[in-house]
Chains A and B, each alone.
Chain A
Amino acid sequence: MQLIQRNAPHIRHSDNPKTLMGDMILTLLPLYVLAICFYGFRVLITMTVSVLSCWLCDMLCSLLRRRFFNFRDLSSIVTGLIIPLVMPATVPYYVVLFAGMFAICAVKHPFGGTGENLFNPAAGGIAFAAVCWPAKVFAYPVPFTTIPLWDTSSVLTVTSTAHTLKMGGLPSADLNDMVLGLVAGPVGAVSILVLLACLVYLSIRRTIPLVQPVCFLAAAALMAFAFPRADISRAYSVLYELMSGSLMFGAVFMLNDPVTSPKRTAARAIYGFAAGIVTMLFRYFGAFDHGFAFALLIMNALAEEFDYFMVVGAPKLFGSGRKGDAA
């Protein structure tokens, strides 16, 4: 009998990082299926380029840093899957390639790789692409136009609802179409119904904490209700703001990145709320149509402070905060 000395506990929950990231991948894939229906197989190539770019860069950076590369670590694949979904279907391959490279080599690994990164790599990559190639990233083809694989210059592109709102114009998109994703916009971020289903699935699986996206959306809705940009009723303003751009997609897939969000429930609620307000401020005063990636990067930098406040600051301000531990 060969016994091994192990630490307690002697039973473990069956979840591991692979199942968590697997859940994310599982929910990202339906968005790709929809995108292929809308725009043809070019989306599949964009996805492959992005995923390979992220995964290979992750491996390369691990090698350069002389760290063990864990093949079970799927987080770079999730990053690679997220990036093309907030881009238009006509996006040139080199844009997603460089966005992926930037996400891994500049945002993830300099801070210590998986689990240590301060900023969400996907948000970093998207922000990089938006700053470098705004003309390529914010012009969208209409759904059900088949995009040629290589030369996309002939494809007719339009601006999204987010851009109309930005310019102070009246959004013309039908709300039903927006729920179903039948409007011009980022590849994966338009199908609001599917995104909400993803949110429900991920929160039931406890892969993401529900409180964070809910507070985020509540804050964004509150801002849209209080300060409508176009000359529309407040209720319509809320609906258009929430369903346009990458706001809903970001709330489900990028905001809840476990590495870069706070850990305490109360801190998560405040963080989500603050992120919602900052996102809307970026929309109102920023240079681009949708500022979610930029807002998220700013919030990421502060995430640890929210936890620090709940652990150290709040007990000082509001008393010890612990009740009923008399024994």
Chain B
Amino acid sequence: MAMKTQPRKGVYLQQFKEPALSREIRQFFNTSASEALVGSPVTKSPEELTPLEVIDIARQAGIVDERDGRPLYKKLEKARERGVKTVVVDALDDEPYVSSQLGVLLHLREEVSAGLKAAAMAAEAANKTIVVYKNLTDAEVRVPSSIDGVRVVRIGGKYPAESHIGRDLGLREGYVTLGVCSLVFLSRAITSGQMQKSAFITVAGNCIANPTNLEVSLGMSLSQVLERCGLADNPTRVVIGGSMTGISIMDTDKTLVSPTTRAVLAFREDEKERNYTCIGCGRCTASCPVGLDPMFIYRAVKSRRFSLLVPLRAAECVGCGTCSYVCPSKLPLSITIGKYRKTDGEEEE
């Protein structure tokens, strides 16, 4: 696999993944544990299943890929149609505080491995690769170089890494990226016929007394989740999703855990709005992973010169939030530009 040596722009972020990452994944169900674990009886051993049976199991179990919110069986069907050669397992977690994918990979190795075997068989892909994030300096656990014979590749280093998986691996096409959590659910559906009734989430942030990775029942409210981990302080901002791209929510009682929820973060900040103006330092341009000029796009939008958006390639924005992160004046760059970017299409096409 030839690695491309094109320099990648982006930004190094402090990860804040500990202590959640090294802790065992705890379960937090709103039904009794025995009820949650009951599934339909298994008729066949995993070795005897055909690819189509695996896809059918994924469909019946209602497994949703936590990366993009698409049903796993559809992704597998599509991968079969396209004749993909490689199954890439995404355990990246390139956003700070979030470790719900990497934690699952490290603590539930057997299930991930079994799920990956089944998924690769269903997609009829010969190669399997697991990708993790290179920038894990604060992790207290060691990431193995291979899991059950499957190579674990460290990519990126700079944020964002998630949108460049194929490029960093040197794969042009013929691969399908699956979230690591969906493989765990696939393995469970195959061995014990369970539906997907839970999601793996990280609960962290500077207000959380006990940051940890949880397996939470779907439909649990965020207040319950926050209560489970304990609030050390009153948060001013609760985020569902990662710290770079997540959505800030107003009502924790009415926001529920969904299959694509990867983290719940609670922050308290005393930082006030400072009303700074753009001083033109150019850090956004220097760090944009797509090579755009966020400040020019922002200025074009603010002065309503929308014809400039085409030459400035505003539609190519991936919405990673790097420009807003580095901006010394704390301008809302990415959210302003994001309105003019292409709607997220089907990936890998």
Interface residues of A (CB under 8 A from B): 1-13, 15-17, 19-20, 68, 70, 72-73, 75, 113-116, 206, 209, 258-265, 268, 307, 311-312, 322-327
Contact = CB atoms under 8 A, between A and B. Distances in A.
Chain B interface size, as a band, is 35 or more
Interface string B233-258: 01111110001111111111000000
Contacts of B332: 7
B19 interface: no
Interface string B161-178: 000001100001100000
Contacts of B286: 209, 265
Given A6-B248, A8-B245, A324-B6, A20 B274 contact: no
A268 B278 CA distance: 18
A108 B121 CA distance: 67
A33 B281 CA distance: 28
Contacts of A115: 277-280, 329
B167 A327 contact: yes
B144 interface: no
A68 B280 contact: no
Interface of B: 4, 6, 11, 13, 96, 166-167, 172-173, 234-239, 243-252, 265, 267, 271, 274-283, 285-286, 291, 293, 295-296, 311-312, 321, 324-330, 332, 334-335, 347-348
5 contacts: A4-B237, A6-B248, A8-B239, A11-B244, A258-B279
A178 B327 CA distance: 39
B282 A10 contact: no
Q: Is the interface of A mostly helix, strand, loop or mixed?
A: loop
Contact of A263 (B248, B250, B296): B296
Contact of B277 (A10, A15, A116, A262): A116
Of the candidates A6, A19, A68, A70, the one having the most CB atoms from chain B within 10 angstroms of its own CB is: A6
Contact of A1 (B6, B235, B279): B235
Contact of A9 (B249, B285, B321): B321
A324 B167 contact: yes
A263 B321 contact: no
A122 to B, nearest CB: 15
Contacts of A11: 13, 96, 243-244, 325
A324 B296 CA distance: 24
